[in-house]
Amino acid sequence: MTTARSIIPLLNRLISRSQPSRSVTYMHRPGDGAPRPVTLIPGDGVGPLVTNAVEQVMEAMHAPVYFEKFEVHGTMKKFPEEVLDSIRKNKVCIKGGLATPMGGGVNSLNVYLRKELDLYASLVNCFNMRGLPTRHENVDIVVIRENTEGEYAGLEHEVVPGVVESLKVITKFCSERIASYAFEYAYLNNRKKVTAVHKANIMKLADGLFLEACREVAQKYPAIQYNEIIVDNCCMQLVSKPEQFDVMVTPNLYGNLVANTAAGICGGTGVMPGGNVGAEHAVFEQGASAGNVGKDSIVAQKTANPVALLLSSAMMLRHLQFPAFADRLETAVQKVILQAKVRTKDLGGSSTTQEVVDAVIDALD
Amino acid sequence: AVNGMIKYEEVVIDNCCMMFVKNPALFDVLVMPNLYGDNISDLCAGLVGAATLVRGIALAEAVYGSAPDIAGKNMGFECLFHEKFGKSNCFTAEWCSMLRHLNLHDKADLIQNAILNTIAEGKYQTADLGGKAKTIEFTNAIIDHL
């Protein structure tokens, strides 16, 4: 017994919820093509290579964006205040990864940025690309990962020498927020199913709370199928039958693993787009494994794969409400992948980043 | 000492997951804390075929989660069993691990070969391997092969 979702209450919800107010429909008006500023952070390792790729392609498309570039490195003690101000002003940022030193109590600047700007949702879209054969077909998964708490709360302490305690923090507020994001995303993008990933059999209170929040939100979207899966089973299903998944909502750490696994089965983290979204800001970076800045050999030989960041910049163009440019960019990238002539090493080819960029620019219509 | 011959490297778990699904041959032995181990072992299981094919050597105890939907329906197995180059799945495979632990290698080999032969024959396969046999039929087939 399905009841059609009445449109008026939904519109009311949408309009009342958006602050500042954002029009539900968008018609271009003269002046909308004025270039929008976007903060650009090249980052470390392969970051400068791939962000440079984005700059070149944007220029070639004459896209109405201009970049305010800032140098930030993972070794900095704290995130420069001027960069944060720039992002707060522009509301949109595109960045390469910042290398986090292992151990030693230095917190990741990538994580710091997400927390500081309250980018509570991390989105990775993993899908089969035509021309990139993988072991599975018909995969189209969106992993929506809680981005601010959970195992990444950064609360660790050494109780006695040789014994370390790490706190995983799960709150009802954040869980509800991410579940709402996931269901709303599913609803607005014609997705049929949302799967919550958890380990509530072991972490009964923490993941139990997360599940409770997801279930509550699920009730508000009766047309969307909702199910739950334990994270270890989820990993296994991902590698054997990934077609069964549609949208997945997860707490922080599981989201990291699931996103990377899903990206791997569709071709690797070099091709999957993604971004971090908050109520006010959006930071676009490589979909999964954004903190991975690549091996030195890749940097030296300039063979990093720019596809992920190019597709993320297409997401950014949509976010800025320039869908036609986004379509052009995505079509060009997909054409290059389909032709399979120019590919970097992670996709089985031997081209350099610049060659891929040139191919994409040639493929632009 | 002997340890000089073993290569050691560290990999971040998210990168590891991705490398695993793209090229599992990169890895040999993995050591990791509890939660990651849970995930990665199931990931491996998925890669080799099914959860029931992966053996867990935790003092010869069944280490896998109990798959509540198929338990008790005479359709599946509750143990985790892993072989690097063969597919074997039977709760008696756990006994193989235990027998080896007790230095009864010839008996362990006997059982292992029986399992491998049963699977290779392909006549009795349980649902997770794509067949329709019940647990008891599969077990009888293994006993026949002994």
Residues of A with CB under 8 A from a CB of B: 102, 199, 201, 230-233, 235-240, 253, 256-257, 259-261, 263-265, 268-269, 288-289, 292
Q: Which residues pair with A276 in a beta bridge?
A: A122, A283
Cα A32 from Cα A26, distance rounded (Å): 11
For residue A165, the 8-state DSSP code is E
Map residue B141 onto helix, strand or coil. Answer: helix
A145, A156, A197, A235, best to mutate vs chain B, most B CBs in 10 Å: A235
Residue of A nearest to B67 (CA): A233
pLDDT of residue B142: 75
Q: Which two tokens stand for residue B96?
A: 């193989």
- For every residue of A328-344, DSSP letters joined together read HHHHHHHHHHHH-SS--
pLDDT of residue A174: 93
pLDDT band at B86 (very low <50, low <70, confident <90, very high): very low
**E strands along chain A, which residues?**
36-41, 65-69, 92-95, 121-127, 140-146, 150-160, 163-169, 193-198, 225-230, 247-250, 273-277, 282-286
**E strands along A78-162, which residues?**
92-95, 121-127, 140-146, 150-160
| Mean pLDDT, range B76-105, rounded to an integer | 48
**More reliable by pLDDT, B7 or B97:** B7
Residues of B in contact with A253 (CB under 8 A): 35
pLDDT tens digit string along B10-53? 888 888 888 888 888 888 888 888 888 888 888 887 887 654 44
Torsion, Cα B130 B132 B136 B141, to 10 degrees, reads -70
Q: Do B42 and A235 touch (CB under 8 A)?
A: yes
Go through chain B and tell me how many residues it has.
146
| Mean pLDDT, range B81-103, rounded to an integer | 50
Q: Do A235 and B10 touch (CB under 8 A)?
A: no
pLDDT of residue A231: 92
Residue B143 has pLDDT above 50, yes or no: yes
Cα A129 from Cα A348, distance rounded (Å): 14
Cα A253 from Cα A242, distance rounded (Å): 20
φ and ψ at residue A293, rounded to 5 degrees = -95, 10
CA distance A338 to chain B (A): 19
pTM of the model: 0.78
Residue B85 has pLDDT above 50, yes or no: no
Nearest by CB to A236, which of B12, B17, B51?
Answer: B51
* CA separation, residue A201 to residues A143, A191, A231, A354, B133 (Å): 22, 28, 10, 48, 30
CA distance B17 to chain A (A): 5
B41, B43, B87, best to mutate vs chain A, most A CBs in 10 Å: B43
**More reliable by pLDDT, B145 or A161:** A161
Mode of pairing for the β-strands spanning A273-277 and A121-127? antiparallel
Q: Do A263 and B18 touch (CB under 8 A)?
A: yes
Q: Do A237 and B13 touch (CB under 8 A)?
A: no
Cα A204 from Cα A207, distance rounded (Å): 6
A143, A234, A240, A295, best to mutate vs chain B, most B CBs in 10 Å: A240
| Mean pLDDT, range B75-80, rounded to an integer | 31
Residue of B nearest to A229 (CA): B67
pLDDT tens, residue order, chain A (365 aa): 444 455 666 665 555 554 445 555 678 888 888 899 999 999 888 889 999 999 999 999 999 999 999 999 888 888 899 999 999 999 999 998 888 877 666 678 888 888 889 999 999 999 999 888 888 888 999 999 998 888 887 788 899 999 999 899 999 999 999 999 999 999 999 999 999 999 999 989 999 999 999 999 999 999 999 999 999 899 989 998 999 999 999 999 899 999 999 998 998 888 899 899 999 999 999 877 766 777 778 888 888 899 999 999 999 999 998 999 999 999 999 999 999 899 888 888 889 999 999 999 999 98
Q: Terminus-to-terminus CA distance in chain B, angstroms?
A: 42
pLDDT of residue B105: 75
Its ipTM equals 0.73
Cα B104 from Cα B120, distance rounded (Å): 24
Q: Do B10 and A292 touch (CB under 8 A)?
A: no
